[in-house]
Structures are given as C-alpha cells and as structure tokens.
C-alpha cells in the first residue's frame, strides 16, 4: 500500500477546503464501484450467512433450522469429505502442473531466437487461454473419447495398447481434467513468468558465468530466487482459481464416476440448483470462502520466508 504523502505542518484554511473537496470527488469516483461492491459482493455474503440458517427450496417459504446445516457440514455429510479432498487434490495438481510447465516453457522461450518463432510460440501457447472453458471442455470430451478419440489412437501408436477410459474411471478422469486445465491455462503462466524473467537483470547471469556456474546452477541460484515474487503472485491467484474449478469437470465428467471429479463448486451448484437446498448450498459456499481466506493468509505469511524481493 502506498504511504500517504505527509500533510504540510501548518495547514491553511484553503488547504482544508481543498482537502475536503478532493475527498468529496474521491468518494464520487469510487461510488459506482462501492455501490456495486455492496450490492453484489458484501450483500450476497451477508444474505448467504443468513440463508445458511434456513431450509429453503425457493419455491415454498424458508424454514428456520438453526445450526442444522452446520451440523450437516461438520458431521452429517458423508460426501463432503470426498468432495473436498477431490477439490484440493485437483487444485494442487493443477497448480503444480501450471506453474511447473509455465516456468519450464518460459525459460525455454527466454532465449535468443528469431522473432517470428518467439511470437509463434507465445501465441500458440497462449491462445487457448482466451477460449471459453466450456468450449475447451467440449472439445476435450471428444478428444478423450475412449473408442473414437484421437488421444487414445495416438497413444495406441506409441504402444499404449489398453484404451484409456479417460472420462469414466476414477483414476483417469482427474487426470483428464488436469490436462484440460493445463492446456487452457498454461499460456497465461508462461507469459507471466516471461515477464518475471525479463525483469531479471542480465548482469546476474554474466557475473555467474564469470564464476563458471552451469546453466542449472544459474537457474537454481539466480532465476528461481528472483522469480519468487512472480511465483507468489501466480500461487495466490491459482489457489483461488483452482479451488473453484467448475466448467471443465461439469462438462467433461459431470463429477463422476461417483464423486471422483466432483469439485466443491459443483457440489454447491448441485445442492442449490439441482436439489434446491439453498440453506445447505450457502453453508457450503461459506465453508469454501473460509478455506480460501485461510489459505491466502497462510500463503502471505509463509511468503516472508521464501519470497525474495530484489
């Protein structure tokens, strides 16, 4: 946060008037954002907390049930544990793959090469990012098809004789979702890493080369430490994003088989808009919010020990 410029030691009357005028204008400037924020962020949060104490199907009047939904959340929902662990496992794998591949390809791209080639690579990696998650998922439903899908066909050519049941088995369907997610998002990670890499002064590498450091040593002791702020940035957004995965599993697998690919947001959607249990859906949503909040705070706390600011 920017420190406010210190006020003059002896404020004059005009200065105060100006000050007040400026504040007025500032409030006007932030008013649209603030109104929208209250109406569509703060308001729903409060209403959501309220609904969590009711049983309500939207069609008949709500019934106050006290802490029933919370009891169910903490002890009465046999599916919730599986769903949260699925969500978290998917999230961790998606984050690791995106950050890992993102960094890998960014490092490969960050070297001397003809400009047209660099542009071509950047574009080809990035373009799926602008395609809608729904469209991406539909494309991959066909690619993953067990009998007719191109993926199994080419894997077959590579010697994988068993046709992989990408979308209908508990072992493979999470992998299918991860592949789809990485295909869609890795370009974004590559670009952000490229930005980070370009921010590292060449001097560091030149000095290291003089000292006889190998490429790997340079990567480990210069590139990675200096990229830690970028990594933190990506980590924070990807944790928030990955815990909310919805489009891909909803279209690819519908959460199945069983609950093998059902994420918490799908579950919220199911409880709310399929089973019309608005109270429990709200309770679930709050639990997700609390978890994301805690995780983000932890990340910032921990970051002090590993993020290196230049």
Partner 1 sequence: MFMKRITLLAFLAAVLLLVIAPLNAQDDISGEVKFIYWGSTVEQAAQWQTFVDLFNVEYPNVNVTLIGVPGDNWSGYLNGTATLIAGGEQPDLIWVATEGVRFLAGLGLLRPFDDLIERDAEELQEFFDDVEPALLDSFVVDGQTYMFPYSWNNMVVHINTARLAEAGLEMPPSDWTRDEFLDYAKALTVDADGDGTPEKYGFSIGYGGMFTMLPFVLANGTNVVSDDFCSPNVTDPKVIEALQFLHDLVYVHKVSPAPSNTMDVFEAFRNGDVAMFGAGRWPVGNMIANDFTDFDIQLWPGNPDQTTIFGVDGFGIFTTSQNPEAAWAWAKFMTGQIPQETLVGGPENPLSNIPARRSTAEMLSQFPPANYGMFYGSLQGNMVLVPSPARFNEMESIFVRYAGLIFADEMSVEDAMAAAELELDSVVSC
Partner 2 sequence: MSTLAEQRTTTLETPIQRARKPFQFRRVLPLLILGFGSLLMIAPFVWIIQAAFGETSKAFVIPPLWFPVNPSLDNFISAFEQVPFQLFTWNTLKIATIVTIGQLITCSLAAYAFARLQFRGKNIVFFLLLSSLMIPSQVTLVPTFIIMRQLGLYNTHASLILPALISPFGVFLLRQYFLTIPAELEDAARVDGASVFTIYLRIILPLSGPVLTTLAILTFVAQWNSYIGPLIYINKIELQVITVGLTLMRGRFGAGALGPIAAGIFMAVVPVLIVFLLLQRYIIKSIVTTGIKT
Site for partner 2 in 87-126 (CB under 8 A): 105, 108-109, 111, 113, 117, 120-126
- Residue 270 in contact with partner 1, rule: CB under 8 A: yes
Residues 77-96: x where in contact with partner 1 by CB under 8 A, - otherwise, as a string: -x------------------
Binding residues for partner 1 restricted to 283-302, rule: CB under 8 A: none
Q: Determine the interface stretch with partner 1 among 87-95, 218-226, 234-242, 269-277 (rule: CB under 8 A).
A: 269-277
Q: Is residue 244 within the footprint of partner 2 (CB under 8 A)?
A: yes
Alpha-carbon gap, residue 75 to 78, rounded angstroms: 8
Mask for 28-57, x = binds partner 1 (CB under 8 A): -----------------------------x
Q: What is the DSSP string of the chain?
A: -PPPPPPPSS--HHHHHHHHHHHHHHHHHHHHHHHHHIIIIIHHHHHHHHHTTEE--SSS--EE-TTHHHHIIIII-HHHHHHHHHHHHHHHHHHHHHHHHHHHHHHHHSS---HHHHHHHHHHHHHHHHS-HHHHHHHHHHHT-TTT-HHHHHHHHTT--SPP-TTTSTTTHHHHHHHHHHHHHHHHHHHHHHHHHHTS-HHHHHHHHHTT--HHHHIIIIIHHHHHHHHHHHHHHHHHHHTT--HHHHHHTTT-STTTT--HHHHHHIIIIIS--HHHHHHHHHHHHHHHHHHHHHHHHHHHHH----
- Residue 1's binding partner among partner 2, partner 1, none (Cβ under 5 to 8 angstroms by kind) is partner 2
51: contact with partner 2 by CB under 8 A:
yes
156-185: contacts with partner 2 (CB under 8 A): 183
Spatial distance between the Cα atoms of 52 and 62, rounded to a whole number of angstroms:
11
Is residue 300 involved in binding partner 2 (CB under 8 A)? no
Those residues whose C-beta lies under 8 Å from the C-beta of residue 262, and which sit 6 or more positions away, are 82, 83, 86, 249, 255, 256, 270
The residue (of 174 and 283) whose beta carbon lies closer to partner 2 is 283
Which of 62-70, 104-112, 202-210, 270-278 is the region at the interface with partner 1 (rule: CB under 8 A)? Answer: 270-278
Is 63 among the residues that bind partner 2 (CB under 8 A)? no
Using CB under 8 A as the binding rule, the residues of this chain from 209 to 228 that contact partner 2 are none
Q: Is residue 275 close enough to count as binding partner 2 by CB under 8 A? A: no
147 binds partner 2 per the rule CB under 8 A: yes
67 is a site residue for partner 2 (CB under 8 A)? no
- Compute how many other C-beta atoms are within 10 angstroms of the C-beta atom of residue 238: 20
Q: Looking at 80, 177, 260, 288, which residue binds partner 2 (CB under 8 A)? A: 288
Contacts with partner 1: how many residues (CB under 8 A)? 29
Of partner 1, partner 2, none, which one sits near residue 37, judging by CB under 5 to 8 A according to partner kind? partner 2
Q: Which is nearer to partner 1, 232 or 262 (CB)?
A: 262
Q: Which stretch binds partner 1 (CB under 8 A): 63-71, 163-171, 222-230, 284-292?
A: 163-171
In whole angstroms, how far apart are CA 178 and each of 92, 102, 139? 10, 14, 15
> Which residue's CB is nearer to partner 1, number 230 or number 261?
261
Given the rule CB under 8 A, which of 69-77, 87-95, 217-225, 265-273 is the region that contacts partner 2?
Answer: 265-273
């Amino acid at each position: 946060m920017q420190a406010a410029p210190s006020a003059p030691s002896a404020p004059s009357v005009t200065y105060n008037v100006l000050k007040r005028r400026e504040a007025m204008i500032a409030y006007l400037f932030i008013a649209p954002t603030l109104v929208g924020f209250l109406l569509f962020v703060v308001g729903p949060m409060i209403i959501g907390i309220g609904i969590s104490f009711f049983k309500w199907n939207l069609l008949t009047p709500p019934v106050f049930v006290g802490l029933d939904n919370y009891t169910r959340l903490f002890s009465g929902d046999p599916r919730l544990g599986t769903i949260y662990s699925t969500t978290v496992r998917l999230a961790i794998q998606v984050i690791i793959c995106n950050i890992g591949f993102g960094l890998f390809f960014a490092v490969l791209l960050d070297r001397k090469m003809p400009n047209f080639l660099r542009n071509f690579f950047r574009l080809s990696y990035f373009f799926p990012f602008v395609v809608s998650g729904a469209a991406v998922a539909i494309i991959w439903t066909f690619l993953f098809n067990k009998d007719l899908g191109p993926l199994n066909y080419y894997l077959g050519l590579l010697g994988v004789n068993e046709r992989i049941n990408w979308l209908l088995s508990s072992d493979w369907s999470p992998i299918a979702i991860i592949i789809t997610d990485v295909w869609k998002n890795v370009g974004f990670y590559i670009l952000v890493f490229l930005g980070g890499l370009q921010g590292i002064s060449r001097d560091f590498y030149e000095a290291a080369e003089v000292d006889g450091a190998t490429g790997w040593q340079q990567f480990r002791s210069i590139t990675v430490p200096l990229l830690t702020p970028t990594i933190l940035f990506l980590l924070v957004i990807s944790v928030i994003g990955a815990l909310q995965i919805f489009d891909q599993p909803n279209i690819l697998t519908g959460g199945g088989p069983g609950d093998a690919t059902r994420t918490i947001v799908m579950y919220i959607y199911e409880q709310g808009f399929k089973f019309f249990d608005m109270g429990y859906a709200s309770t679930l949503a709050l639990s997700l919010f609390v978890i994301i909040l805690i995780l983000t705070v932890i990340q910032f706390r921990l970051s002090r020990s590993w993020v290196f600011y230049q």
